[in-house]
């Protein structure tokens, strides 16, 4: 496994100068940090030249303190049984990324979701605006500065309930006339 | 003779008896609660012995069973389905999510209180309600129908403006056909 | 006794009998299905409650005039086929309005209802209805062929097109047609599986697949009309089978026993079968049932 990893690192670094590797994982995982302009070409190279046929996942991490969004592409090689993480950072205020759904068709769905949930604009993505959120006019809801609880309490009705966590057994018995057996009483608070 | 009070009472009694023993359910599988419907209908709990039966379309159904959380997107469809049903119609809210939001109390796109948007006749609480709870909810609905108290549809017609206002607060682009129900 | 009023009274009474018996049989089939699936099942009178409830629905939306006519066509077709089928074979009670050549007329009138239903379903504009109608007509092309072959074989064999004549032949000779022309009976029974539309041939009104097909936009009164016409039609068909093959019945008890035995064939075949696709269904009917129909015609011509 280790020779394989070093071989992959050598080939990637020979072709992409800005790629920095992170080989600190002791199982079949390998990380590369790249610039966002390199992402399509490195994904093309991984798919076509090195046998990473399968796009496992695309995910996004919101680094609120650093003012950046991180996109992570996870690709998997069914021959070598190794997965490669391609990480890239985007500016949080104006996140723009190249469209990669010509490499893997399924990336289209991920990109629509990121556009909606994180506000990342993919240049050249041809898709209707609404995906999961219909008629949404708030900020992108998956960003960390979006307060979901505040938004929910503003937008939706709430049913007033009791604040304490007291024992309501007596009240239930009084209302329903239901008998509670002795063995169950010790479980009630 | 025909229209006097006592004969109307007898007709009401017979009609309510028939409605009570023949409940055709449109199980709108919105959330995770839909998984409790198959055990309720099949041989372990067999809801058909109470006259509870699945209906294929909203036109044929009597009860709209809302199983679980409703996102703002599905609320639109649920309202449309509800308005296509024929009178008399009833709504059963199923699970904590329809009562107060349940575990989705802080979600940005699930509604929390169903009876602000649709008239709910019976709530079944629990997360998830087991099939016994579902059957007890049906029994409660049967009781209400027999007493003539399950009049959610009438409430909806009378307070349509209030319900519409609440619905349009959630659904800003209101492109729904008007039904002459 | 030959007065027209007496016959009309017989028609009214036989309609009431057909409605009651058909509804009870459908309820019993639900009960039997439930018992096969190890459930308790609804009571046998559940269909009457359902019909009462559907009749007491306060609103029934419609999309045009043809939607009124669709269920009405079904009902008219059912009552018409009931009217020309003699219920009992002693010629006095419930002999109804039959005439010479009514077997041919019956062949036409039995497809009239589904065709009217197709028009009504087309008006609703529901795509599921349209799919259901096309499936129903395709399936009809399937099961009509063995059914017509069986009836033609009977006509050739006994040189008559009258149901009453066929019943009289059975009464006089003492042998039922099921023994004297067995292949026609097999073909007709296999065609009946499709006529009753229980599974595996319930491709028309598949509730989970097509949202009950042609009736998906019909609720309340429309559904009530369809339900009652289905039960009347079921009774008419079962009585026809008993008349043609099982020697008719001289009283109502005998009729009930014989029709119930015939009715159990599609029900019990249905409860253990999953649903066919459309082309599988048509292939089924053009296979063995048509073969037995051909055999019945050859038997009628050469023996």
Residue A14 makes CB contacts below 8 A (sequence gap 6+) with none
Contact A135 B106 (CB under 8 A): no
* A and C adjacent (3 or more CB pairs under 8 angstroms): no
User: Given a cut of 70, is residue B180 above it in pLDDT?
Assistant: no
Residues on chain C touching B84 (C-beta within 8 angstroms): 61
Residue A165 makes CB contacts below 8 A (sequence gap 6+) with A189
Task: Kindly give the parts of chain A with pLDDT less than 50.
Answer: none
Within a domain: A78:
yes
Within a domain: A171:
no
The domain in which residue A93 lies consists of 2-159
Contact A157 B171 (CB under 8 A): no
Residue C175 makes CB contacts below 8 A (sequence gap 6+) with none
Share of chain C above pLDDT 90, in %: 10
In this structure, what CATH number is given to the domain that contains residue A91?
A: 3.30.460.80
pTM above 0.95, yes or no: no
What was the pLDDT predicted at C91?
64
Residue by residue, DSSP assigns B68-126 as S--BHHHHHHHHHHHHHSPSS-EEEEESHHHHH-GGGTT-SSB-S-GGGTS--SEEE-S
Query: What is the overall mean pLDDT for chain C?
Result: 85
Exposure string for C10-46, b = 16+ CB within 10 A, e = fewer: bbeebbebbbebbbbbbbbbbbbbbeeeebebbebeb
The end-to-end CA distance of chain B, in Å, is 31
CA atoms of C103 and C85, how far apart (whole Å): 9
User: Given a cut of 80, is residue C53 above it in pLDDT?
Assistant: yes
Contact C82, C102 (CB under 8 A): no
Domains, in order of start, for chain B: 15-170 (3.40.50.12280)
Token output for C167: 């019943």
Shortest CB distance from B59 goes to which of C40, C49, C218? C218
> Residue B145: which of B46, B56, B23 has the closest Cα?
B23
Contact A74, A43 (CB under 8 A): no
Within a domain: A106:
yes
Please name every residue paired with B92 in a beta bridge, in sequence order, or none if there are none.
B65, B122
User: Given a cut of 70, is residue B179 above it in pLDDT?
Assistant: no
Once rounded to an integer, what is the mean pLDDT over residues C82-106?
76
pLDDT band at C1 (very low <50, low <70, confident <90, very high): low
Within a domain: A174:
no
Would the CA dihedral through A150, A152, A158, A164 be positive or negative? negative
Residue whose entry in the numeric block shows the structure tokens 């009736």: C215
C97 or B103: whose pLDDT is higher? B103
Token output for C133: 């109608």
The C-alpha torsion from C219 through C225 and C227 to C233, rounded to 10°, is -150
What was the pLDDT predicted at C290?
92
Within a domain: A187:
no
What was the pLDDT predicted at A181?
75
Contact B29, B35 (CB under 8 A): no
**Residue C223 C-alpha, separation from nearest chain B C-alpha, in angstroms:** 8
Share of chain C above pLDDT 70, in %: 97
Residue whose entry in the numeric block shows the structure tokens 């319900």: B163
Once rounded to an integer, what is the mean pLDDT over residues C190-196?
87
Number of separate domains in chain C? 1
Question: Residue C57 to residues A4, A145, B151, C83, C215: CA-CA distances in angstroms?
Answer: 73, 52, 14, 30, 16
**Residue B46 C-alpha, separation from nearest chain A C-alpha, in angstroms:** 26
E strand or H helix at B134, and its extent?
helix B131-147
* B and A adjacent (3 or more CB pairs under 8 angstroms): yes
Taking a contact as any Cβ pair under 8 Å apart, which residues of chain C between 223 and 242 contact chain B?
223
Residue by residue, DSSP assigns C129-194 as HHHHHHHHHHHHHHHHHHHHHHHHHHHHHHT---HHHHHHHHHHH---HHHHSHHHHHHHHHHHHH
Contact B171 A155 (CB under 8 A): no
What was the pLDDT predicted at C94?
67
Residue by residue, DSSP assigns chain C as ---HHHHHHHHHHHHHHHHHHHHHHHHHHHHHHHHHTT-----TTHHHHHHHHHHT-S----SSHHHHHHHHHHHHHHHHHHHTS-SSTTSSSS-TT--TTHHHHHHHHTTHHHHHHHHHHHHH--HHHHHHHHHHHHHHHHHHHHHHHHHHHHHHHHT---HHHHHHHHHHH---HHHHSHHHHHHHHHHHHHHHT-TTS--SS-HHHHTTGGGTT--THHHHHHHHHHHHHHHHHHHHHHHHHS---SSHHHHHHHHHHHHHHHHHHHHT--PPPHHHHHHHHTTHHHHHHHHHHHHHHH-
> Residue C84: which of C92, C94, C69, C93 has the closest Cα?
C94
pLDDT band at C202 (very low <50, low <70, confident <90, very high): confident
Contact C278, C197 (CB under 8 A): no
Within a domain: A135:
yes
Once rounded to an integer, what is the mean pLDDT over residues C195-202?
84
Residues on chain B touching C37 (C-beta within 8 angstroms): 42-43
Q: Name the pairing type of β-strands A121-123 and B52-54.
A: unpaired
Shortest CB distance from B107 goes to which of A138, A148, A158? A148
Token output for B46: 């067999």
Contact B87 C212 (CB under 8 A): no
Contact C211, C143 (CB under 8 A): no
Share of chain B above pLDDT 90, in %: 4
CA atoms of C181 and C167, how far apart (whole Å): 14
pLDDT band at B12 (very low <50, low <70, confident <90, very high): confident
Contact B28, C211 (CB under 8 A): no
Contact C39, B39 (CB under 8 A): no
Within a domain: A164:
no
Q: Residue B46: closest CA among chain C residues belongs to which residue? A: C39
Q: Tell the burial category of C297 from Cβ atoms under 10 Å away from its Cβ (0-12, 13-18, 19+).
A: buried
Number of separate domains in chain A? 1
What was the pLDDT predicted at A72?
92
| Predicted confidence (pLDDT) per residue in B93-128, tens digit | 888 888 888 888 888 888 888 888 889 999 998 888
What are phi and psi for residue A33, nearest 5 degrees? -100, 125
How many residue contacts between A and B have a Cβ separation below 8 Å? 52
Q: Does B49 touch chain C (CB under 8 A)?
A: yes
């Amino acid at each position: 496994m280790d020779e394989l990893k070093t071989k992959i690192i050598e080939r990637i670094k020979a072709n992409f100068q800005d790629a920095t590797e992170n080989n600190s994982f002791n199982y079949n995982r390998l990380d590369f940090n790249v610039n966002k302009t390199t992402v399509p070409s490195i994904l093309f190279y991984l798919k076509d030249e090195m046998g990473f046929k399968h796009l496992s996942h695309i995910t996004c991490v919101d680094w609120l303190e650093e003012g950046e969004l991180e996109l992570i592409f996870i690709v998997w090689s069914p021959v070598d049984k190794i997965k490669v993480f391609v990480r890239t950072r985007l500016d949080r205020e104006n996140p723009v990324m190249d469209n990669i759904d010509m490499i893997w068709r399924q990336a289209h769905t991920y990109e629509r979701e990121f556009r909606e949930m994180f506000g990342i604009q993919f240049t050249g993505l041809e898709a209707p605006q609404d995906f999961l959120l219909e008629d949404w006019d708030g900020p992108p809801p998956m960003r960390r500065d979006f307060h979901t609880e505040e938004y929910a309490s503003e937008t939706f009705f709430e049913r007033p309930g009791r604040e304490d966590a007291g024992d309501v057994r007596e009240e239930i018995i009084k209302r329903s006339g239901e008998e509670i057996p002795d063995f169950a009483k010790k479980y009630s608070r | 003779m025909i229209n006097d009070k006592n004969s109307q009472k007898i007709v009401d009694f017979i009609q309510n008896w028939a409605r009570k023993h023949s409940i055709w359910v449109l199980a709108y599988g919105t959330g995770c609660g839909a998984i409790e419907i198959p055990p309720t209908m099949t041989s372990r709990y067999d809801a058909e012995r109470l006259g509870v039966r699945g209906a294929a379309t909203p036109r044929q159904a009597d009860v709209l069973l809302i199983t679980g959380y409703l996102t703002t997107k599905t609320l639109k469809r649920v309202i449309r389905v509800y308005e296509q049903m024929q009178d008399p119609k009833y709504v059963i809210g199923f699970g904590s999510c329809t009562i107060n939001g349940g575990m989705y109390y802080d979600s940005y796109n699930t509604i929390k209180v169903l009876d602000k948007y649709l008239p709910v006749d019976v709530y079944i609480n629990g997360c998830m309600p087991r099939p016994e709870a579902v059957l007890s909810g049906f029994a409660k609905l049967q009781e209400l129908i027999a007493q003539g108290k399950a009049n959610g549809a009438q409430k909806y017609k009378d307070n349509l403006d209030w319900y519409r206002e609440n619905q349009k607060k959630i659904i800003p682009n209101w492109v729904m056909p008007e039904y002459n129900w | 006794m030959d007065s027209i009023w007496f016959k009309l009274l017989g028609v009214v009474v036989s309609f009431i009998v057909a409605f009651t018996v058909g509804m009870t049989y459908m309820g019993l089939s639900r009960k039997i299905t439930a018992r096969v699936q190890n459930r308790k099942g609804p009571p046998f009178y559940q269909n009457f409650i359902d019909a009462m409830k559907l009749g007491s629905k306060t609103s029934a939306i419609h999309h045009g005039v043809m939607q009124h006519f669709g269920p009405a066509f079904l009902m008219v077709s059912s009552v018409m086929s009931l009217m020309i089928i003699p219920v009992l074979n002693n010629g006095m009670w419930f002999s109804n309005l039959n005439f010479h050549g009514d077997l041919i007329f019956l062949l036409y009138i039995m497809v009239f209802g589904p065709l009217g239903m197709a028009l009504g379903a087309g008006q609703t504009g529901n795509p599921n209805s349209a799919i259901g109608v096309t499936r129903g007509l395709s399936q009809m092309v399937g099961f009509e062929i063995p059914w017509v072959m069986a009836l033609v074989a009977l006509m050739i064999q006994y040189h008559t097109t009258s149901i009453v004549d066929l019943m009289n032949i059975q009464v006089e000779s003492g042998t039922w047609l099921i023994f004297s022309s067995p292949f026609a009976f097999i073909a007709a029974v296999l065609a009946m599986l499709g006529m009753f539309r229980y599974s595996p041939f319930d491709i028309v009104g598949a509730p989970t697949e097509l949202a009950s097909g042609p009736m998906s936009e019909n609720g309340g009164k429309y559904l009530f009309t369809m339900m009652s016409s289905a039960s009347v039609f079921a009774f008419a068909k079962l009585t026809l089978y008993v008349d043609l093959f099982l020697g008719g019945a001289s009283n109502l008890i005998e009729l009930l026993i014989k029709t119930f035995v015939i009715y159990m064939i599609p029900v019990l075949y249905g409860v253990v079968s999953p649903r066919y696709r459309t082309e599988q269904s048509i292939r089924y009917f053009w296979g063995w049932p048509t073969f037995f129909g051909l055999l019945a015609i050859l038997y009628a011509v050469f023996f």
